């Protein structure tokens, strides 16, 4: 079957092959998007206790907040906390891996924040994407220089 399809494709002109390639690309994208939605990678449902430092607070408070990680993926995480988090905050999350007990550290940026009231306390559900050290350094520099004009 594969050989017959390939031999048939070799007989087609270049324009027809390019049209076929576009159609195949669309079919592949629709199948991938059907499985994961907008996500690039799958999320693992998990419940882990962790700590987080919010970069905009470290300048004055040096406070560590407790969080509960609900989902984890290669590109980010979803967690709940009682600490006030706003969109585009840079966070430093530390947790122990449930598989081998190693301490893991993730620098991430809050992309989606959902506020809810739970027994008269504010609770924040935060969707965050992983970022590299360059973005964290640029954010820290911005915080240092924000009052200077």
Q: What distances in angstroms separate CA 21 from CA 18, 28, 32, 108, 119, one per listed residue?
A: 5, 10, 16, 37, 56
50, 105: one domain:
yes
17, 89: one domain:
no
How far apart CA 17 and CA 30 sit, in angstroms, is 20
Tens digit of pLDDT for each residue in 13-71? 888 888 888 888 888 777 766 555 555 667 788 899 999 999 888 878 888 999 999 99
Tens digit of pLDDT for each residue in 56-110? 888 788 889 999 999 988 888 999 999 999 998 999 999 998 888 899 999 999 9
Q: How confident is the model at residue 10 (pLDDT cuts 50, 70, 90)?
A: confident
Q: Return the pLDDT at 2.
A: 78
Structural domain boundaries, residue 111: 44-144
52, 11: one domain:
no
């Amino acid at each position: 079957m594969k050989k017959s399809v390939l031999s048939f494709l070799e007989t087609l002109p270049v324009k027809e092959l390019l049209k076929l390639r576009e159609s195949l690309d669309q079919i592949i994208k629709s199948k991938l998007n059907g499985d994961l939605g907008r996500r690039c990678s799958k999320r693992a449902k998990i419940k882990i206790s962790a700590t987080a430092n919010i970069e905009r607070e470290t300048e004055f408070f040096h406070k560590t907040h407790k969080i509960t990680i609900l989902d984890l993926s290669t590109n980010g995480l979803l967690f709940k906390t009682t600490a006030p988090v706003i969109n585009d905050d840079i966070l430093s999350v530390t947790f122990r891996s449930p598989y081998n007990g190693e301490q893991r550290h993730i620098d991430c940026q809050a992309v989606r924040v959902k506020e809810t009231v739970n027994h008269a306390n504010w609770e924040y559900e935060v969707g965050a994407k992983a970022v590299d050290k360059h973005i964290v350094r640029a954010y820290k520099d911005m915080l240092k220089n924000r009052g200077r004009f």
